[in-house]
Amino acid sequence: MKLHEFQAKRLLSTYAIRCPPGRVAITPEEAEAAAREINATSIFVKAQVLAGARARAGGVRELGDARAVRTAAAELLGQRLVTDQTGPAGQIVRRVLIEAGADCAEELYLAMTVDGASGSIVLIGKAHGGSGVENRVRSEMLATQKLSFDIQGKLQQGDLAMFCRGLGLRSGTVDRLGEIIRNMHRAFVDIDASLIEMNPIAVTADGDLVVLDAKVVLDDNALFRHPELAELRDEEDIDDIELKAQRHQINFMQMDGDIGIIVNGAGLGLATLDMVQDAGGEPANFMDIRTTAKSLDIAQGIALVLDNPSAKVLLVNVYGGGMQPCDTIIEGLGIAVRRKGRVLPIVLRLTGNNEELARLRLANFNLPTTECADMWQAVTRAVAVARGET
């Protein structure tokens, strides 16, 4: 779950990580009032959308007085901002962050994430951060410092100071950055984050450190431990179909193909998409039925597939485990078809817990089903049906 910049900064501030004074506004009048309250010689108006590269798209503007802030806010609010990361559709700007500018002698990049290979928390740092830092790293113009933590934040003595000095900082600033990193790690573990990125961190002339922009991504699977953080989700910036699926214990993403995918498990879902592509087909969606989903939840998820007019066939690839037996998914399938009244050819690969009971229920629903012995046979059959070859 992504947080807006203003939410990320509020959260980081509770961990003694310094950010510029700022206020959120949803109207031009509120923006002007916020600018007058901040009363700085340099004021930024920053569009709050869940995407980066806002400055290049005109979504971040530096201004000198409250009237100009009001004008800029009026130009941004309600408009669709298209950046390198939003895609061509862009995102609607519903709020702006009004923030004081900061004296900046140098800029740093700092990020903390999870290393999928080792399972450790990894810290990534770069000197000369700011806009375009990713491109400079890819072109090998910018060296990267890395440091791995365990869950308790333990490091070998001297590792943190060596990491900070590798960014070319002065001795006094090294100590300050070390404190930020320790607080950053504490926040990362406390809130079950999957990413905390600060870019840029301004190094002022007197060696202070101020976070000018921040990105925080939370692990959705851990939100049950943080109901106060779950409330920060901006549902207006989530696709309506995906949001409806999430409410029914389904991970779902609409795609551009014509083969409806019904799968339990994220790994099995991704493998199914890959196999459909390898067979020359095009998936209409990604689906991951969570183990917590009941038959009525599954029916809601499958209804989203049936609502897609591009879908020509349903590819049902089910592996029944201890927490999600086969018959529960087949019951959801039958309920969805009866409710929607749209019957598509069904290609089925079924194995695991309660598979015989699932076949009995499938027969009772009297659906047009072709069962296949393995995944590849099911995938190639579904591709052929979508093409009208069988």
- Torsion angle in degrees (nearest 10) through CA of 266, 327, 302, 380: 70
For this structure, is 179 an active site residue? no
Active-site residue (options: 5, 30, 32, 197): 197
Do residues 27 and 69 make contact, with C-beta atoms less than 8 angstroms apart? no
Cis before 325? omega within 30: no
User: 363: which 2 tokens?
Assistant: 């027969």
What is the β-pairing status of strands 346-352 and 369-371?
parallel
Say which residue the tokens 């009995």 belong to: 360
List, in order, residues 6 or more apart from 197 with CB less than 8 Å away.
109, 110, 111, 112, 214, 215, 216
Nearest to 52 by CA among 91, 24, 21: 91
CB atoms within 10 A of CB 26: 15
Q: For residues 11 and 239, what is the distance between their CA atoms, to the nearest angstrom?
A: 25
Do residues 273 and 379 make contact, with C-beta atoms less than 8 angstroms apart? no
Nearest to 263 by CA among 255, 251, 280, 245: 251
Q: Indicate the DSSP class of residue 205.
A: T
Alpha carbon separation from 253 to 69, 316, 329, 342 (Å, rounded): 38, 16, 19, 20
Active-site residue (options: 30, 99, 106, 109): 109
Helix or strand run (H / E) with residue 114? strand 106-114
For this structure, is 197 an active site residue? yes
Say which residue the tokens 């700022």 belong to: 22
* Phi, psi for residue 255 in degrees, rounded to 5: -130, -175
- Order of strands, sheet of 43-47, starting from the edge strand that comes earlier in the sequence: 22-25, 96-100, 43-47, 60-63
Q: For residues 303 and 323, what is the distance between their CA atoms, to the nearest angstrom?
A: 22
Active-site residue numbers? 109, 197
